[in-house]
Amino acid sequence: MDSSTDDPSTDDDGTYSDLEYPNYRQYNVEEDYSEETTDETFLSTERTFDLTLPATHSYLGSNLTELIGRTILEDGIYVNLPLLVKKSVILFPGQTLPMTANDAQTVDMIKTCLENDRTLGVVCLGYGKMVPVGTTAEIYECLYNGPEQSCRLKAIGRQRFKILRVITQGSDKILANVRVLPEITLGPPFFDERLASLNHLRINPKTEEDFKKQERVENLDAVVTPWPAWVYRQYDPFRLSLKIRQRLQFIGNRGSNIPEDPAHLSYWVAQNLLLDDNERIALLNYDCAISRLQREIKYLVEDKIFICSICDSYIGRQSNMFPMSKEGPQGTYCNPTGTIHEIVTLYHARSLTLSPSPPSVEYTWFPGYAWTVAICKHCGAYMGWKFTAVESNLRPKAFWGLTRKSLKSKEK
Ligand SMILES: [Zn+2]
């Protein structure tokens, strides 16, 4: 995928438009939040694209070697990890990280990982400094052809860690002494204080109705504790998960798997909602799913709008997100030059202009779709790509893949 921004001259309908003042903001953001017409039927019934394909990252080639086994580091253990430090790359446990490495430093780091436990640390570079919390990434497929060759790999986020000390090895290798952070799992609150006499009334709640039924029992349980039951309910991981899943139902209905387990869900939401780096880092800092879910639920209170991160032009909204991958509406992909892009897929977007270059299928992240570079119509910022189906029977016929860093989300 090419991220160059050629001279734009077509708009999002493929028709030519004038770009007289590409660097001048002519657009009043406040005026234009009108809802676009969306076609749910088209999305739900006419999809023919196989949503399992993007997660295979087939653009990396079919000659990667599968690596067997899994490395689990003990909670609290101190280890030395080679670090991959990238701007705006914040990996969460469970998230897939595809990579192409061309520079000798990264290729050498990967070689060291492959010789050991195939684990590296992924750390975000923010404001010129490394964020002190990161996530281990375990390489599960790799093509390594030697020190002078480029290397391709797929890794998966495993465990969070805190950097204790950075050790530089030679002039170009970054190694750090880290402590693996625990994932604290808490069950429903005041579990130990529950009244045994009420056990026959307890059910394992799955639906909102079930939770409502349980409220009466919880109110009785809470009588012997210092706080009323509604306080405890705010810390119930299953209740929080249900609320979040209800608010994300529109994504589930559009074909994505949304985890049920509170910890998995909390990481899934962190990965799939359009959040800026600071918010993502804040979520990565929590040791417990309850805190992450409580913070995440605030982002889902209303349908956020997405604006250009440079000029604030209205681009789309949260409810325009739809998954083009089983993993969710936001995914991580890489291009041949090694750039890692996090992109959100939207079925509708505005204020975008397409590059005049013809659509290309080279290195496409969505097999069967050609990409065209998309830029902001108002400020000229590079936003991502429009993907168009190359086969007539492929549905959706077109969609947008916009980079996380090109967008900001805000309340209406
Ligand atoms: Zn803009």
**CA pair distance 148, 103, nearest whole angstrom:** 9
Q: Cα(336) to centroid of ligand 1, in Å?
A: 26
Ligand 1 centroid to Cα of residue 15, in Å, is: 20
Q: Which of 98, 137, 90 is nearest to 405 (CA)?
A: 90
For residues 169 and 178, is the Cβ–Cβ distance under 8 A?
A: no
313 alpha carbon to ligand 1 midpoint, in Å? 6
For residue 22, the CA-to-ligand 1 centroid distance in Å is 9
What's the chain's Rg over C-alpha atoms? 23
Q: What is the pLDDT of residue 31?
A: 42
Q: How many angstroms separate the alpha carbon of residue 389 from the centre of ligand 1?
A: 26
If phi > 0 it is left, if psi is from -120 to 50 it is alpha, else beta; for residue 327 that is: alpha
Closest Cα to residue 307, out of 345, 352, 374, 355?
Answer: 352
How far away, in angstroms, is 305 Cα from ligand 1 center? 14
Q: Give the pairing of strands 151-169 and 173-180.
A: antiparallel
CA of 309 to the centre of ligand 1 (A): 7
User: What number of H helices and E strands is found in the chain?
Assistant: 9, 18
Beta bridge partners of 121: 83, 136
Our CA angle for 266, 281, 155, nearest 5°, is 70
Q: How far is the centre of ligand 1, averaged over its atoms, from the C-alpha of 406 (Å)?
A: 8
Q: Which amino acid is at 256?
A: S
pLDDT given for residue 186 in this prediction: 81
User: In tens digits, what is the pLDDT along the chain, a chain of 412 residues?
Assistant: 655 443 333 344 433 333 333 333 344 444 445 444 444 444 544 688 999 999 999 999 999 999 988 888 999 999 999 999 988 899 999 999 999 999 888 998 999 899 989 999 999 988 778 899 999 999 999 999 888 899 999 999 999 999 999 987 665 678 999 999 999 988 777 777 788 888 888 888 888 888 888 888 888 888 888 888 888 888 889 999 999 999 999 999 888 899 999 999 999 999 999 999 999 999 999 999 999 999 999 999 889 999 999 999 999 999 999 999 999 999 999 999 999 999 999 999 999 999 999 999 999 999 999 999 999 999 999 999 999 999 989 999 999 999 999 999 988 7
Is the Cβ–Cβ distance between 310 and 161 less than 8 Å?
Answer: no
Q: How far is the CA of 364 from the centre of ligand 1 (A)?
A: 25
Handedness of CA 262, 266, 271, 272 (dihedral sign): positive
Is residue 307 within 8 A of residue 31, CB to CB? The reply is no
Round to whole Å and give the CA distance between 1 and 70. Answer: 31
- The pTM of this model reads 0.86
The answer to whether residues 386 and 398 touch, using CB atoms and an 8 Å cutoff, is yes
Q: What token pair was written down for 95? A: 């998230």
The CA–CA distances, whole Å, from 145 to 82, 149, 192 equal 20, 6, 56
Q: How far does residue 281's CA lie from ligand 1's centre (Å)?
A: 25
How far is 344 from 306, CA to CA, in rounded Å? 11
Separation of CA 19 and ligand 1 centre (Å): 13
The closest of 89, 84, 83 to 341, measured between CA atoms, is 89
Alpha carbon of residue 306 to chain centroid: 15
What local confidence, expressed as pLDDT, does residue 172 receive?
65
Structure-block tokens of residue 134:
């990161």
How many residues make up the chain in this entry? 412
Distance, in Å, from the CA atom of 195 to the CA atom of 192, rounded to the nearest integer, reads 9
Distance in Å, CA 24 to ligand 1 centroid: 9
Nearby residues of 13 by Cβ (< 8 Å), 6 or more positions away: none
Report the separation in Å between the CA atom of 380 and the middle of ligand 1, taken as the mean of its atom positions.
6
pLDDT at residue 146, rounded to an integer: 87
Euclidean distance between CA atoms 289 and 387, whole angstroms: 35
Residue with tokens 């949260």: 318
Question: 5: CA distance to ligand 1 center in Å?
Answer: 13
**The two three-digit tokens of residue 149, written as one number:** 């060759």
* Cis peptide leading into residue 237 (ω within 30°): no
How many angstroms is it from 377 CA to the middle of ligand 1?
7
* Residue 375 alpha carbon to ligand 1 centre in Å: 8
Between the CA of 407 and the centroid of ligand 1 the distance, in Å, is 9
Q: Cα of 87 to ligand 1 centre, how many Å?
A: 21
* pLDDT at position 231: 87
